[in-house]
Structure 1
């Protein structure tokens, strides 16, 4: 395999997997670990990936501040959040992902006798004064730009939980059903959330088809319910239905 071809294949795999150790890179590309390390070093030097101890992660894309994202596509987010709030029953334990659509959902949960678990600091700030809502804030490292908590403490906390519903956000959904995120550091937390939930609800406005992002969070088959807009890509939605996902367009 030509060096340039090998490099492009490695970058493609990283966009899908987010992070890979050198041993796995060597296995996937059919090369020695020494060659894999040189490839990682070369691509890191060129700014095309980020080198970490023992492996590589996809290069971070520029992330807009939370406040800017919050006001974008607001009517569509509100419609999705309104339907999502109606799914929640009194007494349930619900997990709210990071993001601005989940914040709109939180704004519809005041005075509800439910438990809300979150790593979303904006959700925490929205609900912290409500005595009816039992609020659990996951631990972790603070990402100030996107008002979230990440890292091994966040993931460890999620391993102790089993919630009724997860409301998952996304930066993009590919035509084959892959659910993406723009920031690799958020992906392990999202995957831990998926493992802790009995029922997974994906919140994705029409703009998220295909949206943005290079880090794969999950597949259509990992989702139970998709709430989206009426103008979302029909072919992508058909793929979700084939994967036995309940698709709700609002």
Structure 2
């Protein structure tokens, strides 16, 4: 792989996850940690990321196109989404967060007698022709780059509804179990979603454990369940379990 291709992959991974450590990036790309450190320094100088101790953060001021994020960790996301969809019984109501894992949950809900509420425009496109599903779209300001709806209208719409299940995405889970997000504008919507649901299920692949993010979405006590992978950080999983959260391994 050429250095330019490798560096583009690093930037894409950071934008998808919010942040990344040197060890994780080296393992993912199959190169040495020294190579990753050199790449991070160069990308920092170019303004394409922010170098921090032990890794790097995605830069503010622009989202990775939805299709690019959707192409990252596809098998892991699909396993998590399939397991999440299995939790829902016919006749129940489901609230789907923004993001690509939520889209994959929607793909596993086809043909079910359900009510689905979402601010995710990709979910709208996925389910709009499924006559078995009663589909409710929240209002709001369109973030075209991430195909989501945000803002006061979205939050106000959420205050008028209540659902059985929320499937929530994240930029990362801290070692103490706190759920974080790297996109400030999405956090108020996520919090309104939590308040609108009986059961809150966090969907997060192993790269989010432990994770990063500048804004707190919720404490672990606000979660009912986390669906993740067997190789997700064990210490973080223990913290979640001790907080009363059921951890399901897909």
TM range (shorter): 0.7 to 0.9
Q: State the distance in 1 between where 2:125 and 2:159 align.
A: 24
Measured after TM superposition, the shift of residue 194 of structure 1 is 0.3
Deviations for 1:74-101, whole angstroms, at most 9, x for unmatched residues?
A: 0000110010010010000110000100
- Higher Rg: 1
| Alignment-derived partner of residue 110 in structure 2 | 110
The TM-score normalised by the length of structure 1 is: 0.75
| Alignment-derived partner of residue 95 in structure 2 | 95
Q: State the distance in 1 between where 2:70 and 2:109 align.
A: 18
Distance 1:169 1:112, change over 3 A: same
Deviations for 1:8-59, whole angstroms, at most 9, x for unmatched residues?
A: xxxxxxxxxxxxxxxxxxxxxxxxxxxxxxxxxxxxxxxx9xxxxxxxxxx9
Given the alignment of the two structures, is residue 144 of structure 1 paired with residue 144 of structure 2, yes or no? yes
Please tell me whether the aligned partners of residues 174 and 212 of structure 2 are also in contact (alpha carbons under 8 angstroms).
Answer: no
Task: Tell me how large the CA RMSD over aligned residues is.
Answer: 1.4
Alignment of 1:14-33 (within 5 A): none
The TM-score normalised by the length of structure 2 is: 0.75
Alignment of 1:1-250 (within 5 A): 60=60, 62-250=62-250
- Number of positions where the alignment pairs a residue of Structure 1 with one of Structure 2: 193
Unaligned runs of 5+ in 2: 1-49, 51-58
Q: State the distance in 1 between where 2:80 and 2:117 align.
A: 20
Q: State the distance in 2 between where 1:60 and 1:89 align.
A: 39
SS of residue in 1 equivalent to 2:145:
coil
SS of residue in 1 equivalent to 2:146:
coil
Measured after TM superposition, the shift of residue 182 of structure 1 is 1.3
